[in-house]
Amino acid sequence: MTVSIREPFPDRIPGLNFAAAAPDLWRVAASDGALLGHIRRREIGGVERFSSRRLLPGGRQGIDLGEFWSPRDAAEVFR
């Protein structure tokens, strides 16, 4: 049995805060605490990828921002 754990976000980005929401999923918030969206890590064909999703006003729906090779690139779209 594989146990998935919540890990801290693998990079530090000035002006953004990250909170582990689930295994391989982080909430992204502005420094004032406003929730901006999520970043998900997944493996595709043995390669690690990071996808970003911005929350729309109201916080119930989101829009995909893209897939990235690094956690830093996935986070930078929120700045």
pLDDT digits (tens, 9 = 90+) for 14-52: 999 999 999 999 999 999 999 999 999 999 899 999 999
Contact partners, residue 6, CB within 8 Å, separation at least 6: 20, 21, 22, 23
Average pLDDT in the chain = 92
Kindly report the backbone phi and psi dihedral angles of residue 56, in degrees, each rounded to the nearest multiple of 5, phi listed first.
-85, 160
| pLDDT band, residue 5 (cuts 50/70/90) | confident
- Kindly tell me if the per-residue pLDDT of 2 is higher than 60: no
